[in-house]
Structure 1
Amino acid sequence: MFNIRGQGLRLAAIAILLTVNAPAHAGDEHPLYASLGDTTRAPIGWIDFCNDNPTECGNGASQPRDIVMSQAAWRDLNKVNHWVNENVKPMTDMDHWGVIEKWSLPTDGYGDCEDYVLLKRKMLIDAGWPREALLITVVRDRKGEGHAVLTVKSDKGEFILDNQNESIVSWTDTGYRFVKRQSQGDPNVWVSLGDGRPAVATASAK
């Protein structure tokens, strides 16, 4: 079992009960799904992470899948988002590792934005969620800085798990500009989301 500071991460071990509501149906004014562009380069840090953690990066192409966003699924998403945001402490890669950018599972309890994403993704996959619906996504935040979030593809739209936001919201309600994310068909293929500015570093503390 994967542990962080001695605490198990499987959903069965998460004893956090949040009062949450299922997502409302998106109105006609907001698209449910982001528009995909051409394939693009993986973000800095992903390839090295996969070399160090091959089991976290999938086994090639697969069939795209969306989850059914039931009340139970929505509760589980909120539990994971809350637990990771509370239990991982923000630290830049420079302070943590002495390098500008390094993707890693936060086994010691510290990490930056993409490390939060990697752990949320791992917890959900370990709990039986399809990796094809859990897409690491690079955005530009409200300051124009590179940032990583987790996109959850569902039958009710795309929702964002974010270490900078305790609430899970539709991708259209984040205020972010979406740059690129993993392909649903292959986690090692990345597709553009329309923002052409380069996102050199995704690291972001809370």
Structure 2
Amino acid sequence: MFGTRGQGIGLVFAAILLGMTAPAQAGDERVQYASLYASLGDNTRSPIGWVEFCADNPGDCRGGATQPRDIVMTQTAWKDLLRVNRWVNETIKPMTDMDHWGVIEKWSLPTDGYGDCEDYVLLKRKMLIDAGWPREALLVTVVRDKKGEGHAVLTVKSDKGEFILDNQNESVVAWTETGYRFVKRQSQGDPNVWVALGDSRPAVATASARDR
């Protein structure tokens, strides 16, 4: 999966997966709390770069309607989220798509150890799915960060609410604690369907790499 510098990354990646346990899935009977879950709007366009990523990585974008499921947020599941978020943030080095690929926007798995916000998200999502977590609970999400710039994060839907894995934050926090405006994300029912989250202004996930 990883080449050159990424070979070492791949070995640690595999070791982390071996130590993780997929959380249980919560059924539809869970109580809804508006403050814990973002309000969903109509279907909308996928972010720039997503279609091209799926064309290059069809295994990461398998479509088809599935039953939405949230995970049960146990202490073990929480520790796994913290571990994945921290490891990816510390291991992948920030680099803009222009510096990396010579284009404004390109979604890709950071197989060479470099990437920008959406690449961090894609790797975290892949690590959790490979460890047995349900795809339906791991949603690529486009937001506007505290500077008003487009940014990508990973939303994890659980019976305790929605939590965010973010390359700009070493902690995993509730979506309401990020200070971000949530624009759009993948549908739980189909990874290639995107739904609006209440901000009608266009947002492209071209945030600069994490400040260090």
Q: Is residue 53 from structure 1 mapped to residue 57 from structure 2 by the alignment?
A: yes
Q: Which residue of 2 aligns with 1:103?
A: 107
Aligned residues: 192
Q: Deviations over 1:115-135 (max 9, x none)?
A: 000000000000000000000
Instruction: List runs of 5+ in structure 1 lacking aligned partners.
Output: 16-27
Unaligned runs of 5+ residues in structure 2 are 21-32
Matched, 1:157 2:154: no
1:13 shift after superposition: 5.4
Query: Is the 1:36–1:191 Cα contact (8 Å) retained in structure 2?
Result: yes
C-alpha distance in structure 1 between counterparts of 2:166 and 2:174, whole Å: 11
Distance in 2, matches of 1:171 and 1:199, equals 18
- Give the structure-2-normalised TM-score: 0.87
C-alpha separation in 1, matches of 2:90 and 2:65: 34
SS at structure 2 position matched to 1:136:
strand
> Aligned pair 1:85/2:89, yes or no?
yes
Instruction: Name the structure 2 match of 1:185.
Output: 189
2:8 aligns to what? 6
Does residue 142 of the first structure (1) align with residue 156 of the second (2)?
no
**1:74 and 2:78 matched:** yes
Q: Distance in 2 between matches of 1:164 and 1:97?
A: 22
How far off its partner does 1:201 sit?
A: 3.9
- Within 5 Å, which residues of 2 pair with 1:28-43? 31-43=35-47
Q: Which structure: greater helix fraction?
A: 2
1:101/1:203 contact within 8 Å kept: no
Structure 1 residue identity aligned to 2:83:
K
Residue type at the aligned position of 2:156:
V
Q: 2:174 aligns with which of 170, 175, 178?
A: 170
Letter in 1 for 2:157: K
Whether 1:123 aligns to 2:130 is no
Distance across 1 between alignment mates of 2:51 and 2:104: 15
2:201 to 191, 197, 201: 197
CA displacement, residues 150-206 of structure 1 (integer Å, 9 cap, x when unaligned): 000000000000000000000000000000000000000000000111113433310
Do the aligned partners of 1:93 and 1:203 also contact (CA within 8 Å) in 2?
Answer: no
SS at 2:90 equivalent:
helix
Contact 1:138 1:147 in 2 (8 A): yes
Q: CA deviation at 1:60?
A: 1.5
Give the % identical residues: 78
Partners in 2 of 1:136 and 1:181 — Cα distance?
6
1:93 shift after superposition: 0.1
2:127 alignment partner AA: M
Q: TM-score, normalization: structure 1?
A: 0.89
- Counterpart secondary structure, 1:160: strand
Take 2:206 and 2:183, find their aligned partners in 1: how far apart are those partners? 11
What RMSD in Å do the two structures reach over aligned CA positions?
Answer: 1.6
2:208 match: secondary structure? coil
Inter-partner Cα distance in structure 2 for 1:53 and 1:99? 19
* Residue 58 of structure 1: how far off its partner (Å): 1.8
